[in-house]
Structure 1
């Protein structure tokens, strides 16, 4: 094609875009970005400024930045895509729903859960009007709504949404379809938060079975699944198994380009495992690695940072460094009070830890 067509021919842009999609699905984000940008440059020259192809192109670039953990860039490109779609498309067009959904994803990642819910709901309302009731896209929608309810600590609402997603997917797909992986993963997280560890493990293992069939060996999503499985083994006191799975996750995360905050989660999970094994110096090393990434990548009041500070407070409490413990737990409580609902289980847990430390001082 490159030989047969002039350099700014739209067909070339389509080809570059398709190649970008393949690299993106393989988890090779820098290559994906390179081809999406090539495609975009041609579209900019060849098409009018509000052409839907340009909106799709902005959206693809936003998606790669989101996967790489560059959320401000992701938001910038998703917003550009949305502006074009608002001008070019009917108000109930599925592509508009897709834009709202993508922006919701970024707000979810940056810990702004209430904004995420607003965008997910906007997206969902359009899909309900525009699509048949068992359309797979509605499944994705329920999945995302379930994930943000989980993060808001509303586990019952999360389960309801995820079960709706699962029912749609069962009607739309074969059992091993990649769409199920995300639903199993979120069901695993909800059951883990509800302390139903056998159900959590069952769902994470179902997710892993699909991921192993459908993704390359070193895909970042495999690592996330390994780390989730490791974390449930820790919660079930199977520390050796937990360490094996976290190491599997790190072998991928330290060697490919992935969202750095996912790598930080693995470090934190390792820290928690070593803390529970009473190997406090190793635990602290992993906490500090995780904390450094989180502080670089997330806003100062991101709920995930509160989790880190709480873990460190528990470690300092166990090693009788009470003033350090107090400093960390105060940071955790402050963030949680600002960013989470007052009934969120995490906030209640942080307050309990705060009381334990206060009594020791």
Structure 2
């Protein structure tokens, strides 16, 4: 019975491969000038036509349908069109589960791709569930050291980092790197992606010196494999820049961000979320150098791109809002800063949950806007909440906790609570002394 099932699947796969090839040939005829009859056909129009035709022309070939839906869904994803990608990838999952069963590696591939879209669209809870299911299938079907297992571990680790679950993220990503490095036929591009994701965990923990060599190694791999004019190279250039400017390496960071923006604009278009991400990073570098007008212009453009592509409630929108508010703070426009920080906080609490480390950062920024207006009680309240989150996420003796303790002590003095301020300062100093003695 098992042999006959395997034979049927093999025949079905061979048939599907032929049908996929025929479908794409017919689809791309619409871009042939002889077929287009003088009309200009865009890649987006070809995709839209293809996604429509799959449902009508291939209803009796579910394996073929699933493969094509996944293919077109992934192209939509790479264009930043997540709302268009998700339904196709959801249908691919359903079709493959029905045709191949719940434990097939091809189903895991579809689950992983759908999780990627959820991750980019900030649907983190479903992405977590999908990655876990894909990982379980791949480990059982392919073994714990297969490169496909490492691919899911890398993606899952990136999600865990975004959720503020840094120990789990680091464990997944170190395992992914080890698998890719040991593979005899390894994909260096996949290795570079895992190195970059691991570096991002260190970035989130503000361990910039540890992140820098990982990003540099990833960038070297991708430049050799893909050349300079590739979006994956541009992404790591921006990532590397993000750890350089906090270390005072402003010129190097600004140059890398400029190159990243130029590549993204040229390759994926000026309105892609990747462009917004690089613009936001470039604005950070400008802000760090006191170039507030330049930073504000870049952030306004990034905000417009993100709101159009991802919607007004996406966490990336909150990043731009927070950064814009910080510029207004430097310009002493404290009320304007407060409004933007409030909006950013609401977005992050909804998307990430009330105890996420990014929420703590947003609370601290809001506290600064309150402080600039002399709203000391409000400042005290948000800093206390931020401190609670940081102690849970980073540990009670982390650098983040020390900084917030010192800010909170300052506010307590303004409120006339000097003894409490002394206690907070003493605790912060004790943590610093213990760290220096190690």
TM-score where L is the length of structure 2:
0.78
Change (3 A) 1:92 1:281: same
Give the corresponding residue for 2:431. Answer: none
Give the corresponding residue for 1:243. Answer: 296
Q: Which of structures 1 and 2 has the bigger CA Rg?
A: 2
* Separation in 2, partners of 1:207, 1:343: 36
Q: Does 1:304 align with 2:358?
A: yes
* Separation in 1, partners of 2:209, 2:327: 28
Q: Does 1:346 align with 2:379?
A: no
Shift of 1:164: 1.6
Give the corresponding residue for 1:231. Answer: 284
List aligned pairs for 1:144-293, cutoff 5 A: 144-257=197-310, 260-293=314-347
Larger mean CA deviation between 319-328 and 52-61 belongs to 319-328
Unaligned runs of 5+ in 2: 1-22, 24-53, 416-438
Q: Secondary structure at the match of 2:310?
A: coil
Mapped contact 1:146–1:158 kept (Cα < 8 A): yes
Q: Secondary structure at the match of 2:269?
A: coil
Mapped contact 1:134–1:172 kept (Cα < 8 A): no
Mapped contact 1:8–1:42 kept (Cα < 8 A): no
Provide, for residues 7-64 of structure 1, a one-character-per-residue CA deviation record: whole Å limited to 9, x for no partner. 3431222111111111111111011111112222221222132211101011111111
1:103 to 128, 146, 156: 156
* Separation in 2, partners of 1:141, 1:265: 24
* Separation in 1, partners of 2:330, 2:398: 24
Give the corresponding residue for 1:317. Answer: 371
Mapped contact 2:335–2:369 kept (Cα < 8 A): no
Q: Secondary structure at the match of 1:256?
A: helix
Q: Secondary structure at the match of 2:144?
A: coil
Change (3 A) 1:280 1:141: same
Aligned residues, how many? Answer: 361
* Separation in 1, partners of 2:73, 2:374: 52
* Separation in 1, partners of 2:118, 2:204: 22
* Separation in 2, partners of 1:268, 1:276: 13
List aligned pairs for 1:15-164, cutoff 5 A: 15-131=68-184, 135-164=188-217
Mapped contact 1:153–1:345 kept (Cα < 8 A): no
Change (3 A) 1:253 1:13: same
* Separation in 2, partners of 1:311, 1:64: 30
Give the corresponding residue for 1:329. Answer: 383
TM-score where L is the length of structure 1:
0.94
Larger mean CA deviation between 281-290 and 32-41 belongs to 32-41
* Separation in 2, partners of 1:86, 1:92: 8
* Separation in 2, partners of 1:289, 1:335: 19
Give the corresponding residue for 2:423. Answer: none
Mapped contact 1:134–1:171 kept (Cα < 8 A): no
For the aligned residues, what is the CA RMSD?
A: 1.9
Shift of 1:344: 4.7
* Separation in 1, partners of 2:57, 2:245: 55
Mapped contact 1:8–1:45 kept (Cα < 8 A): no
* Separation in 2, partners of 1:347, 1:233: 27
Shift of 1:131: 4.5
* Separation in 1, partners of 2:376, 2:182: 56
Unaligned runs of 5+ in 1: none
Change (3 A) 1:86 1:244: same
